[in-house]
Amino acid sequence: MDSDLIIVGGGLNGPALALAAAGAGFSVTIIDALPSAVRSMPDFDGRSYALALTSQRLLQGIGVWRAVADHAQPMLEIKVTDGRAGEGAAPWMMHFDHAEIEEGPMGFLVEDRHLRAAFLTAMDESDLITQIDAARVVAQDIMPDGATVTLDNGETVSGRLLVGSDGRGSGTAKRAGIKRIGWGYDQTAVVCAVAHDKPHGGIAHQFFMPNGPLAILPLTGNRSSIVWSESTDRAAQLMKLDDDQFLEALRPAFGSFLGQLSLTGARFTYPLGLTLAQSFVADRVALIGDAAHGVHPIAGQGLNAGLRDVAALAQVLSEARARGEDIGGAQPLARYQEWRRFDTTTLALATDTFNRLFSNDNPLLRAARDMGMAAINAAPSLRRGFIREAAGLTGDLPKLMQG
């Protein structure tokens, strides 16, 4: 075998698993179709992630956080309101403050460029990780004692366990015969970042608009990341506008609480949909991240869920080795699936339900959800439950996320 693990996909979850596995003493070959220079551009491109506190702990545990920390904005409060563009927020809101829990900030906002650069540097520094860039996996063979993948340049790589971290359209899953369920939302997220006059105070805002949620997430300095989910037609129109026109369109939804706005970096669009692999494992194959579950960004939990897969799989593999088991064997894979599949299915269904409940202008639903938000906000134990959920502190936490 060339290595213990072959990881297909060097996006975000693949490198996190490579580092977690190497940290536990496994040798890893990680393959990505794109050159690393394309995956990690030094300029800010508007993409960023709300990482839960437990994801930050994982990044610390795998030696990546020190390179990211100076660029990370702590998320201290979250305010959730219902509204229509131009009318301001409805009077009902949910307000979650990290001061209500002991563990610290609910999470951190990290720009994509800093995260990817930190992953690549840490992988370069590891003797146990071999990186193959600019090579697409086109075939996989499963044998009794391992798996072999074939690259588009004809080379082959073998390992005891094949991990699919190749995103929503996972070829690894397809080749393993794993079917998916899912649907589109006819919504597209327009993602960008803005600079503003007034400080954000580390507060993240989620405004529920009739076409979809608008998230305003604090970045370092007087900057915020925008994830604006709109109907697909409207998102296409928004992308045709020049920067000034785009800001004019954003202002009625965004409001004026942060003062004057200007765009920093490019605008991106992501068609939104749900996709869930019917199994997270097959013979000698495990899926992690978006290859296993792609969810609506309404709760900013996609990458957080993927990083939990990473921490869980790394722990299952270490424990399997300690027991003398084959790391690509059926029992460890069944334990990984049992740990992660129920959690992620629940997350996928919850984000789906929230999106359907909030992305509409039905007056009855509006009244019901406003009452629901007021009730949650008035109940300290429910409020704390939501804060712990946002921080990723609920459920069966893998060791790398326990801090």
Ligand X SMILES: Cc1cc2nc3c(=O)[nH]c(=O)nc-3n(C[C@H](O)[C@H](O)[C@H](O)COP(=O)(O)OP(=O)(O)OC[C@H]3O[C@@H](n4cnc5c(N)ncnc54)[C@H](O)[C@@H]3O)c2cc1C
Binding site for ligand X (CB under 6 A): 8-14, 31-34, 39, 49-50, 136-137, 165-167, 171, 189, 191, 227, 270, 289-290, 297, 300-304, 306
CB closer to ligand X, 54 vs 165? 165
CB closer to ligand X, 61 vs 306? 306
CA distances from 307 to 52, 139, 328, 390, 401 (A): 10, 26, 20, 14, 9
CB of 30 to ligand X, least distance (A): 9
CB of 47 to ligand X, least distance (A): 8
Backbone angles phi, psi at 257, to 5 degrees: -65, -15
Give the residue at shortest CB distance from ligand X: 11
CB closer to ligand X, 81 vs 275? 275
SS3 311: helix
CB closer to ligand X, 249 vs 303? 303
CB closer to ligand X, 265 vs 300? 300
CA distances from 200 to 7, 75, 93, 250, 337 (A): 39, 10, 18, 17, 40
CB closer to ligand X, 77 vs 366? 77
Q: What are the E-state strand segments in 14-61? A: 28-31, 48-52
* The pair of three-digit structure tokens given for residue 272, joined into one six-digit string: 């939104």
CB of 304 to ligand X, least distance (A): 4
CB of 378 to ligand X, least distance (A): 28
CB of 31 to ligand X, least distance (A): 5
Residue 228: name the closest of 210, 242, 212 by CA: 212
Q: What would you report as the CA-atom Rg of the chain, rounded to the nearest whole angstrom?
A: 21
CB closer to ligand X, 11 vs 146? 11
CB closer to ligand X, 92 vs 306? 306
CB of 109 to ligand X, least distance (A): 8
CB of 368 to ligand X, least distance (A): 27
Q: What is the CA 42 to chain-centroid distance, rounded?
A: 20
* The pair of three-digit structure tokens given for residue 77, joined into one six-digit string: 């409060």
Buried b (16+ CB within 10 A) or exposed e, 277-303: bebbbbebbbbbbbbbbbbbbbbbbbb
* The pair of three-digit structure tokens given for residue 87, joined into one six-digit string: 């009318």
3-state helix/strand/coil string of 134-158: CCCEEEEEEECCEEEEEECCCCEEE
CB of 194 to ligand X, least distance (A): 15
CB closer to ligand X, 157 vs 317? 157
CB of 54 to ligand X, least distance (A): 11
CB of 188 to ligand X, least distance (A): 9
Residue 51: name the closest of 294, 217, 258 by CA: 217
CA separation for the pair 403, 66 (Å, rounded): 15
CB closer to ligand X, 82 vs 290? 290
* H or E segment and range at residue 109: strand 107-111
* The pair of three-digit structure tokens given for residue 218, joined into one six-digit string: 């604090």
* The pair of three-digit structure tokens given for residue 264, joined into one six-digit string: 């920093």
